[in-house]
């Protein structure tokens, strides 16, 4: 069957492209897209299209490239967060990898929390210095939650220690001084597991245990971790959504992605991919 060679090669190129995107290698996916045929109607995942030229690239044991000023670019934050939310849902729903889902939710949560801090710094010079420092180090998640929960009009300071680590306290070089207009809303009370006033602390404690110990993670933990970071992101965007049962979360997320600019967070369906590659005529109906 000589005619099947090219369709299989095209499929292989697509699978390589999607594997890189799904692993979070947006820059690698951007390069892999150069090996795809020019399909005018093909929509890449938004994270690859938007972040592909700016994302992390590793060479040896260090970064050859990294995004600059990421925490101050709210468009990048939105695109990345939506891609991660969809990925976490897939880890739970399809892969049943509850440990990975929880840890990815925790990682996304920290990114949103740091973006909240950057948003409070209004002085352009201080904001620029803070963003430059955050390219290399971010403050501990616990300290960010604690500081953003302070009373209204609290004066906050951030700086770096002698190793360049960004901190709210015990720093050597002052970077920024800013005011907290009001304490952060307790958006985590929308969850089932972390719905107490200090539920964020319980979330961080579970994250730390998962990072340093290995034990079976219940599906309920993973689902609520996704709910936790979803609520954080929605509050960050000043969007109010009435969370319903877990069965509704896919619809809720898709609605959120659409409202943020119809962001694409999924691969092509298998049937459509087979048609694009020209494989449909070679496969039995059940496999296409």
From first to last of its 288 residues, the chain has per-residue pLDDT tens of 558 889 999 999 999 999 999 999 999 999 999 999 988 889 999 999 999 999 998 888 888 788 999 999 999 999 999 999 999 999 999 999 999 999 999 999 999 999 999 999 999 999 999 999 999 999 999 999 999 999 999 999 999 999 999 999 999 999 999 999 999 999 999 899 999 999 999 999 999 999 999 889 999 999 999 999 999 999 999 987 777 677 788 889 999 999 999 999 999 999 999 889 888 777 766 665
Does residue 52 come out as left (phi exceeding 0), alpha (psi in the -120 to 50 range) or beta? alpha
**Inside any domain, residue 57:** no
Q: Are 33 and 17 in contact (CB under 8 A)?
A: yes
**Inside any domain, residue 45:** no
**Inside any domain, residue 51:** no
The count of domains in the chain is: 1
**Inside any domain, residue 287:** no
Burial 149-160 (b: 16+ CB within 10 A, else e): beeeeeebebbb
**Inside any domain, residue 153:** yes
pTM of the entire predicted model: 0.94
Residue 149: domain span: 76-263
**Inside any domain, residue 231:** yes
**Inside any domain, residue 19:** no
Q: Rounded distance, CA 76 to CA 276, Å?
A: 30
- Pairing between strand 166-167 and 154-160? antiparallel
Q: What is the dihedral of CA 157, 146, 101, 211, to 10 degrees?
A: 90
């Amino acid at each position: 069957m000589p005619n099947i060679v090219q369709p299989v090669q095209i499929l292989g190129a697509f699978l390589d492209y999607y594997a890189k995107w799904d692993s979070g290698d947006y820059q690698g996916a951007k390069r892999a897209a150069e090996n795809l045929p020019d399909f005018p109607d093909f929509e890449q995942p938004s994270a690859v299209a938007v972040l592909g030229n700016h994302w992390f690239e590793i060479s040896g044991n260090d970064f050859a490239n990294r995004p600059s000023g990421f925490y101050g670019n709210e468009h990048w934050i939105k695109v990345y967060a939506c891609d991660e939310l969809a990925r976490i849902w897939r880890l739970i729903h399809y892969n049943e990898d509850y440990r990975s889902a929880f840890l990815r939710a925790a990682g996304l949560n920290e990114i949103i929390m740091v973006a909240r801090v950057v948003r409070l710094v209004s002085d352009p010079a201080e904001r620029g210095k803070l963003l430059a420092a955050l390219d290399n180090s971010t403050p501990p998640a616990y300290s960010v939650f604690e500081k953003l929960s302070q009373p209204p009009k609290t004066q906050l300071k951030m700086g770096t220690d002698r190793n360049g680590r960004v901190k709210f306290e015990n720093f050597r070089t002052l970077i920024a001084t800013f005011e907290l207009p009001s304490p952060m809303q307790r958006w985590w009370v929308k969850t089932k597991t972390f719905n107490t006033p200090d539920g964020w602390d319980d979330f961080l404690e579970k994250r730390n245990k998962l990072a340093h110990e290995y034990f079976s993670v219940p599906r309920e933990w993973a689902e609520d971790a996704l709910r936790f970071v979803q609520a954080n992101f929605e509050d960050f965007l000043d969007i109010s959504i009435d969370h319903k049962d877990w069965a509704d979360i896919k619809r809720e997320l898709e609605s959120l992605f659409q409202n943020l600019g119809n962001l694409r967070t999924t691969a092509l369906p298998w049937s459509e991919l087979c048609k694009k590659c020209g494989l449909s005529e070679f496969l039995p109906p059940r496999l296409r």
